[in-house]
Amino acid sequence: MPKGRPMNIVSSVRTGWHHACVTLACLVLVGCAVPARLGENDRARVAGRTFVVTGASSGLGRGAAIRLAEYGGNVVLAARRAAVLEQLADQLRAAGGQALVVPTDVSRPEEVQHLAAMAMSRFGRIDAWINDAAVAAIGPFEQVPVEDHARVVDVNLKGTLFGSYAALRQFRRQGFGTLVNVASVEGRIPLAYHASYAATKAAILALDAALIQELRIRGSTGIQVASVLPWALDTPFWDHAANYSGGTPRIASMDDPAPTVNAVVWAAIHPAKEVAPGFKAQAALLGDQLWPGLAERLAAGVVHRSQIETAPPAPPTSGSLYIPLAIGTTVEGGARARMAEEDRNRQPIPR
């Protein structure tokens, strides 16, 4: 072997590691482009403009609606729970925004078209449309009723498609607008026991990428599409999910939803192709790029331990798939506190 060969190998390893570190640093810096708090210039971009928000009765959708109203936006609230939306509308008006309630099942295209028509009738324009409505079915794929999987597709994927269709048609008529579709890190790194949910989130990312290509080809520079990829969040999602796993819905290492709420609002006024809020989401996506397959293996172990091995028993339920639930009307869902209590009370496994 030539004398210089070992040094070349070491040099190559160092170079590769350097490139990986540079890539990570760049991604972290990109993530930091979404500030912890929005500033006065951001408020000016929101005030007086109109935002349609689906899934507005709880979780990210509710949080985004509140933040937009605090900044003086006109917010069109869409979800199935009309009474919850009316209460939220009163809160938004008190915060300084304008609010319009349009009860909507996003899986029905005629209702989504009605949502767009009502927004235009009231405010005359739509500056941004945020598709956040989503449901989930948790459990081994073949143990979840197939109609529940289909319902997840109807709400998450078809609902996003119907909303995107209505929004883009209006944006083309008025010559501007931003479409924000809330996807998930699961769109890149799917999780065991979340099969249909993960499939819909991957499809949303593909939909958005195709739409961006079409807009670029047609030179529609005033119309933007942004995808938001949150990490697992502590929202009422876990109370609303259909569950056939045998244990209470849970996952390790959830995040507070507040930073992702900011990211959704940020994407609506500073659109970027993909926004991954927070270090966990960014690190997971980077890991999937650098070590394909490894991230999925690690995720599978984490979710299996959390959902199957350590979760307290729970009966099967279809959750909010077909009929909205009265519970879970907040932004933060209390899942982390519940899980901590469950873990404290868990009996040790006899050895």
> Into how many domains does the chain fold?
1
User: Tokens 């579709």 map to which residue?
Assistant: 181
Work out the end-to-end distance of the chain between its first and last CA atoms, rounded to an integer number of angstroms: 54
Examine residue 139 and state whether it is found in any structural domain, yes or no. yes
Q: Which domain holds residue 251?
A: 38-331
CATH number of the structural domain spanning residue 149: 3.40.50.720
Section 51-66 average pLDDT: 98
Examine residue 312 and state whether it is found in any structural domain, yes or no. yes
pLDDT band at 1 (very low <50, low <70, confident <90, very high): very low
pLDDT band at 34 (very low <50, low <70, confident <90, very high): low
pLDDT digits (tens, 9 = 90+) for 191-202: 999 999 999 999
- CB of 330 closer than 8 Å to CB of 232: no
Examine residue 348 and state whether it is found in any structural domain, yes or no. no
Section 290-310 average pLDDT: 92
Residue 11: pLDDT over 60? no
pLDDT band at 346 (very low <50, low <70, confident <90, very high): confident
pLDDT digits (tens, 9 = 90+) for 236-277: 999 999 999 999 999 999 999 999 999 999 999 999 999 999
pLDDT digits (tens, 9 = 90+) for 133-147: 999 999 999 999 999
Task: Measure the CA–CA gap between 225 and 274, rounded to whole angstroms.
Answer: 9
- CB of 180 closer than 8 Å to CB of 198: no
Nearest Cα to Cα of residue 264 among 112, 6, 73: 73
Examine residue 350 and state whether it is found in any structural domain, yes or no. no
What's the chain's average pLDDT?
90
pLDDT band at 291 (very low <50, low <70, confident <90, very high): confident
Examine residue 347 and state whether it is found in any structural domain, yes or no. no
What single letter denotes the amino acid at residue 321? L
> 34-38, 45-49, 230-234, 253-257: which range is least confident on average?
34-38
> 142-146, 207-211, 296-300, 308-312: which range is least confident on average?
296-300
Examine residue 197 and state whether it is found in any structural domain, yes or no. yes
What single letter denotes the amino acid at residue 102? V
Q: Classify residue 297 as exposed, middle or buried by CB count within 10 Å of its CB (0-12, 13-18, 19+).
A: exposed
Task: Measure the CA–CA gap between 198 and 227, rounded to whole angstroms.
Answer: 15
Which residue among the candidates 71, 165, 193, 197 is catalytic per the annotation? 197
Examine residue 24 and state whether it is found in any structural domain, yes or no. no
Section 17-30 average pLDDT: 41
- State pTM to two decimals: 0.89
Note if 197 is an active site residue: yes
Examine residue 240 and state whether it is found in any structural domain, yes or no. yes
Nearest Cα to Cα of residue 141 among 99, 193, 105: 193
pLDDT digits (tens, 9 = 90+) for 173-232: 999 999 999 999 999 999 999 999 999 999 999 999 999 999 999 999 999 999 999 999
